[in-house]
Structure 1
Amino acid sequence: MGADDEKEARKAKIRQQLEEQAASGRKKKGFMTPERKKKLRLLLRKKAAEELKKEQELNAAERRKVIEERCGKPRHGADTSEAELKSICKLYYEKIMGIEWSKYDLEKALAMKDLQIYELNFAVNDMRGKFIKPTLKKVSKYENKFAKLQKKAAEFNFRNQLKTVKKKEFSIAEDETAKKPDWALGEKEGKAKTPVAD
């Protein structure tokens, strides 16, 4: 019964404090006071930092495990013979080739999956009536206008409109220049050629 008396005494004390607060006009502070909020934030930050650190450690351990699984444990070649070094190199080479083949297979499988996804999306959009807009090339809007202007300029080009002249029609042949007409020959030459009548 002593415990019941203590509970009653506490309740009476709390009632008395509440009545005093009501009489003085002060309101009771809420449960989440600014100090408690600040402490709660600090605790949450600490907890988040611990969780992040644990997650990073787990990721690092998993990574080490995968590296050891794929590459094996590191070996020191200081005290090994040449034949053992060759066998170690051959082993590593085979592992590297196996990893490269698996990488190639995974890349091809990924490309096939991407292609299937694209085709399925295209089929779904086709069924809905929505068509995928093709990616358009960037074209200068002035390019066509410039080409048209060049065609018009070619029409007005005077060199294109001039008639072509064959140069041989007006050129003097060398044979004609060597042969002189009768009137161009001098008197001496003319007399020599004409017969003299006695």
Structure 2
Amino acid sequence: MADDERKKLEEEKKRKQAEIERKRAEVRARMEEASKAKKAKKGFMTPERKKKLRLLLRKKAAEELKKEQERKAAERRRIIEERCGKPKLVDDANEGSLKQVCEGYHRRIVDLENKKFDLEKEVEFRDFQISELNSQVNDLRGKFVKPTLKKVSKYENKFAKLQKKAAEFNFRNQLKVVKKKEFTLEEEDKEGPSYLLIF
């Protein structure tokens, strides 16, 4: 009897365990379907993928910027070395070798100043030629360059004419002339001024 009860309890436990497992499987299946539906709605670019892509783009841009800076620095060093030459060892040099180094630098400075002067004069001459050609072009075109005309509406022109007429319109000319003497301040002297009466 005790064995039968134990068997029944064990079978009951197994049945409950199987029921729990079956429910868990259903929940997992539902969750997987929901996640698939979300992925299908969102498309290919999920937020995690976007973050990874941004990080990769930033890293690549930083690497390219670093390479570009290194390339520019190397180019700068090469140009400086080409223009200035390698530095001379003057620490344990005697007076004669120092004189030769100074003379070499002096010759180089003179040559560079000559080239600079020639280039400045060439630039001035080209500027002069450009201004001369511009003046010749203007002479061939005509003395003045015609400005482009703007569109003006008809109503603005009419309004401007009316304003001009209103400015010319004199209000005093339109007043009536009154010949009553009641508004005069002084009576006119009929005889005239006294200095005229002497003659």
Structure 2 length-normalised TM: 0.46
Asked which structure has the greater RCO (Cα within 8 Å, sep 6+), the reply is 1
Structure 1 length-normalised TM: 0.46
